[in-house]
């Protein structure tokens, strides 16, 4: 992965925690990162060029006015006042290149000396084995703090560890081996049905990113929620709020124009296009 630092900018060692989305259903991770970048008034410090990510370009995502600043597929932001760094991804990974993407991202994050990587992503609610009937969105997590993926700090926040993660299972061992650049061992290759990485959770970018960052010795936490396709702005608010608790930030201190202090990104105004012409009714 190559990067171009903007003139007059640099990566600050004070912004040691980096937040980024892992693309999935409903784009909740991307929306939450948009919300966090906008609300923390983070400034863009670099454009990233990754061959495994499809190119795209659009108008300024955060405003307050659309002045014509290009927003590209991968960008890095930092908010020194909140000691946070961000990577925003706006286009999908090329099919078959998820592991390559994850390794390149982990190498880049390690090169700019970030200590903690927080990955925001969503999961298909249709894949849930147990339905939570509570009104509040349940947050799930996966952490590198312990080998089994658990983290006492996340548990104290009321989050649940992703039960589908089991590093002793062959599927997860296979992913770890691929990320580390090794070959499958004979016992793994002998059971193709067991070892084919088509398991839903393993197929998502967050799993490869988690494995790659962990392999580089980075502290990494995945913050996850279940959702369906549709208007997922409510889930993005909740996921962003959950991450704020993890990194000791209070949305009220953002003093924004949205609910609970959030600053609504300019790009959200056009997510669903203009309202209908009432004269047709």
> Mind listing the pLDDT tens digit for each residue in 85-135?
999 999 999 999 999 999 999 999 999 999 999 999 999 988 876 665 555
pLDDT score of 98:
94
Dist. CA 52–CA 89, nearest whole Å: 12
> In sequence order, what DSSP letters do the residues of 137-198 get, joined into one string?
PPPEEEESSSTTS--HHHHHTT-EE-TT--TTSHHHHHHHHHHTT-PPPHHHHT-HHHH-S-
Among 10, 32, 70, smallest CA distance to 206 is for: 32
Say how far residue 146 (Cα) sits from the centre of its chain: 21
pLDDT score of 34:
94
Give the pLDDT band (50/70/90) at residue 267: confident
Lowest mean pLDDT among 28-32, 112-116, 242-246, 248-252: 248-252
Give the pLDDT band (50/70/90) at residue 250: confident
Q: Are strands 43-49 and 2-5 parallel, antiparallel or unpaired?
A: antiparallel
pLDDT score of 70:
86
| Beta bridge mates, 222 | 119, 142
Structure tokens at 84: 């946070």
Instruction: Read off the pLDDT of each residue in 247-274 and give the average, rounded to a whole number.
Output: 80
pLDDT score of 194:
46
The string of pLDDT tens digits covering residues 144-172 is: 999 999 999 999 999 999 988 999 888 89
Dist. CA 11–CA 45, nearest whole Å: 7
pLDDT score of 51:
94
Among 29, 40, 34, 19, smallest CA distance to 252 is for: 40
| Beta bridge mates, 41 | none
The string of pLDDT tens digits covering residues 171-225 is: 898 898 888 876 544 444 444 444 443 488 888 999 999 999 999 999 999 999 9
Average pLDDT, whole number, for the chain? 87
Which pTM does this prediction carry?
Answer: 0.89
Lowest mean pLDDT among 16-25, 49-58, 111-120, 259-268: 259-268
Q: pLDDT higher for 61 or 255?
A: 61
H-helix segments, the chain: 28-39, 98-111, 152-156, 170-179, 186-189, 192-195, 200-203, 205-215, 233-246
Structure tokens at 55: 């190119």
CB atoms closer than 10 angstroms to residue 216: 18
pLDDT score of 186:
40
> Given its phi and psi angles, is residue 54 left (phi above 0), alpha (psi -120 to 50 degrees) or beta?
beta
pLDDT score of 158:
93
Structure tokens at 36: 């966090």
Q: What proportion of the chain, given as a percentage, has pLDDT over 90? A: 60
Report the SS3 class of residue 101. Answer: helix
Among 233, 261, 265, 272, smallest CA distance to 66 is for: 265
What is the enclosing helix (H) or strand (E) of 226? strand 219-227
Full strand arrangement of the beta sheet holding 219-227:
2-5, 43-49, 74-79, 84-89, 17-21, 116-124, 219-227, 140-143, 160-161
Domains of the chain, earliest start first: 13-272 (3.40.50.10900)
């Amino acid at each position: 992965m190559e990067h171009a630092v903007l003139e007059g900018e640099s990566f600050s060692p004070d912004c040691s925690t980096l937040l980024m989305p892992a693309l999935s259903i409903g784009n909740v991770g991307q929306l939450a990162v948009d919300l966090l970048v906008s609300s923390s008034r983070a400034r863009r410090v670099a454009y990233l060029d990754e061959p495994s990510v499809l190119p795209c370009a659009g108008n300024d995502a955060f405003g307050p006015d659309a002045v014509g600043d290009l927003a590209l597929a991968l960008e890095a932001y930092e908010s020194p006042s909140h000691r946070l760094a961000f990577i925003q991804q706006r286009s999908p990974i090329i099919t078959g290149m998820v592991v390559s993407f994850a390794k390149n991202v982990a190498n880049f994050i390690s090169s700019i000396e970030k200590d903690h990587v927080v990955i925001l992503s969503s999961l298909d609610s249709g894949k849930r084995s147990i339905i939570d009937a509570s009104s509040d969105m349940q947050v799930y997590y996966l952490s590198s703090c312990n080998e089994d993926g658990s983290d006492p700090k996340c548990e104290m926040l009321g989050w649940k560890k992703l039960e589908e993660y089991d590093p002793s299972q062959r599927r997860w061992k296979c992913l770890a081996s691929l990320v580390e650049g090794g070959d499958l061992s004979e016992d793994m290759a002998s059971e193709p049905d067991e070892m084919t990485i088509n398991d839903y959770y393993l197929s998502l970018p967050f799993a490869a990113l988690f494995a790659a960052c962990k392999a580089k010795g980075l502290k990494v936490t995945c913050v996850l929620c279940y959702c369906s396709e549709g208007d997922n702005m409510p889930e993005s608010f909740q996921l962003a709020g959950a991450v704020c608790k993890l990194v000791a930030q209070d949305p009220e201190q953002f003093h924004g124009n949205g609910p609970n202090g959030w600053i609504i990104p300019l790009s959200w105004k056009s997510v669903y296009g203009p309202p209908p012409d009432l004269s047709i009714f």
